[in-house]
Amino acid sequence: MTKLRSLLAAGVAAVFSFAAIPGIASAEVTVLGWPGGSEETALRAAVESYNALPGTAAEDKVELLFFNRDGFYDKLQADLAAGSDAFDINLIATYSIGRYAPFMEPVDLGADAEKVFGKPILETMQFEGKQYGVPTDLSLHFMYYRKDLIDALMADQGAKAKYAEISQKYLGKSLEPKAPDEWTWDDWAATALYFTKSVNPDSPVRYGTVLQMKNLLFNMMVFQSLPRSFGADWTDESGKVTVDSSAYRAGLELYKKLYDAGATPKDSLSYEYPETNAAWTSGQVATALQWNAAASELMDPEKAPAVAKDTAVVAPPAGPEGRKDHIHGLGLGLNKSSKHKEGAVRFLKWLATEDAALTYAKAGGSPALAPSVVEKIAADRPDLVKLGQFAGSYGYVMRGATSAKALSVYEAQAKEFTAYWAGQKSLDDALSAVGQSMADLLK
């Protein structure tokens, strides 16, 4: 019995020791960042600079924590809802702020933050008028195109005649090739059809475009700019869902037309970001609407030797309402359950300064910066200049897209829209179903 008591005492002591270890380890500010890719590299560089500052107290030193990307937001949701204090600062995204806001605290970044990022970019991290985070990276979409193919098309009279014939047959109007920066969606569609082997056997590549059509919410973000340029929005000002509109119909029908004509790979209904990159780097695709983050891979001669030198980007094509580009910000905000709020706020305020933003950008991050700030790194990061231009000129956020159920709206759209593209549902049925789901989610 004495032995048993000793064993129990040792067990209890061990339990207390393990319980105390996280307390000791969490003497610093812990940041839960977006793992992998340029965001992690940039955040590591920024944290290293912050920790090396002479004014950073030992208890304010920042340490980093990374999960896996798969299911990241679900794990974050579960941790926040459980009141976890394993991290003081966590990642947030424009379309999930409403979902996480109840478990986070707004932060005051100071007046200078607006000079660094500009008001529209700070707004990507706001919910109900309150600032919930520092915008660290901005995502939008580029229209990638093959310069060599388009130049050859523009210079060839015979090709122009074929182009006009194809556009008349598939789009009902005779079009002439244009420079990508002047494209309407019809011009892009005609170009995609012209460069499709099954439509035009003389095409030098197999497909005119590569569409991301997998039943996945991120693919809906890519698609959204097409109907938006025709005037689409999720709701009207009274909050009534307006997805069953001529604008959404135009966008959905154009995607289906290209898919049915074979202008995009047959497996496009299972394609997302990496599949699109793989298709592009194969050199068998002429255009692709893809995330800006892919530029570093698709335009790098080492990663895409077959196409990098001929790859160029413009903003997405124009519709009747002009050009539109879906913006989606990543940022860092304050966990309500944090045990080191003061230190965490000090780090967030530093992260919103010009020095920190430039450090982050130089290390490979993609912050959208005010023109006066971005010009300081334009030589190192010319893509950030384009990012800022596109975001400022064409960036938009759908009405209701920062609500708590925004991600669920994208999910509902992904399910119904892919059902239409796959031929499982009529357009009327798909729009009716998604309208019903959105009305339930956004009420």
Give the footprint of other proteins on this chain (CB under 8 A): 1, 4, 70-71, 74, 77-78, 80-82, 99, 102, 213-217, 265-267, 269-270, 275, 278-279, 281-282, 284, 404-405, 407-408, 411, 415-416, 418-425
Amino acid at 175: L
Per-residue exposure over 157-178, b if at least 16 CB sit within 10 Å of its own CB, e if not: eebbebbbebbeebbeeebebb
Residue with smaller CB distance to other proteins, 286 or 345:
286
Q: Which residue has the tokens 């090739």?
A: 177
Residue with smaller CB distance to other proteins, 266 or 443:
266
Q: Which residue has the tokens 């829209």?
A: 417
Residue with smaller CB distance to other proteins, 10 or 25:
10
User: Coil, strand or helix: which one is 55?
Assistant: coil
Residue 250 neighbours by CB distance under 10 Å: 18
Residue with smaller CB distance to other proteins, 5 or 119:
5
Q: At its nearest, how many Å lie between other proteins and the CB of residue 162?
A: 23
Q: At its nearest, how many Å lie between other proteins and the CB of residue 281?
A: 8
Residue with smaller CB distance to other proteins, 114 or 272:
272
- Dmax (CA) for the chain in angstroms is 99
Residue with smaller CB distance to other proteins, 216 or 357:
216
Residue with smaller CB distance to other proteins, 220 or 358:
220
Residue pair 263/192 in contact by the 8 Å Cβ criterion: yes
Q: At its nearest, how many Å lie between other proteins and the CB of residue 238?
A: 25
**What do you get for the CA distance between the two ends of the chain, in Å?**
64
Residue with smaller CB distance to other proteins, 71 or 322:
71
Residue with smaller CB distance to other proteins, 215 or 242:
215
Q: At its nearest, how many Å lie between other proteins and the CB of residue 303?
A: 13
Residue with smaller CB distance to other proteins, 394 or 420:
420
Q: What are phi and psi of 82, to 5 degrees?
A: -80, 0
Residue with smaller CB distance to other proteins, 288 or 373:
288
Q: At its nearest, how many Å lie between other proteins and the CB of residue 395?
A: 26
Q: Which residues make Cβ contacts (< 8 Å) with residue 169, sequence separation at least 6?
A: none
Q: At its nearest, how many Å lie between other proteins and the CB of residue 232?
A: 21
Sheet containing strand 311-314, edge to edge, reads 207-209, 285-291, 141-146, 311-314
- What tokens appear for 305 in the block? 């030797």
Residue with smaller CB distance to other proteins, 6 or 168:
6
Residue pair 315/394 in contact by the 8 Å Cβ criterion: yes
Q: How far apart are CA 93 and CA 328, in angstroms?
A: 7
Q: At its nearest, how many Å lie between other proteins and the CB of residue 137?
A: 23
β-pairing verdict for 89-93 and 328-335: antiparallel
Q: At its nearest, how many Å lie between other proteins and the CB of residue 294?
A: 15
Q: How far apart are CA 83 and CA 334, in angstroms?
A: 13
Q: At its nearest, how many Å lie between other proteins and the CB of residue 105?
A: 15
Q: How far apart are CA 405 and CA 394, in angstroms?
A: 24
Q: At its nearest, how many Å lie between other proteins and the CB of residue 377?
A: 34
Q: How far apart are CA 108 and CA 106, in angstroms?
A: 7
The interaxial angle of helices 37-52 and 354-362, nearest 10 deg, is 130
Nearest to 395 by CA among 39, 122, 208, 159: 122
- Is the CA virtual torsion 366, 368, 370, 371 positive or negative? positive
Q: How far apart are CA 412 and CA 428, in angstroms?
A: 15
Q: How far apart are CA 367 and CA 375, in angstroms?
A: 13
Q: At its nearest, how many Å lie between other proteins and the CB of residue 269?
A: 5
User: Coil, strand or helix: which one is 89?
Assistant: strand
Q: At its nearest, how many Å lie between other proteins and the CB of residue 243?
A: 16
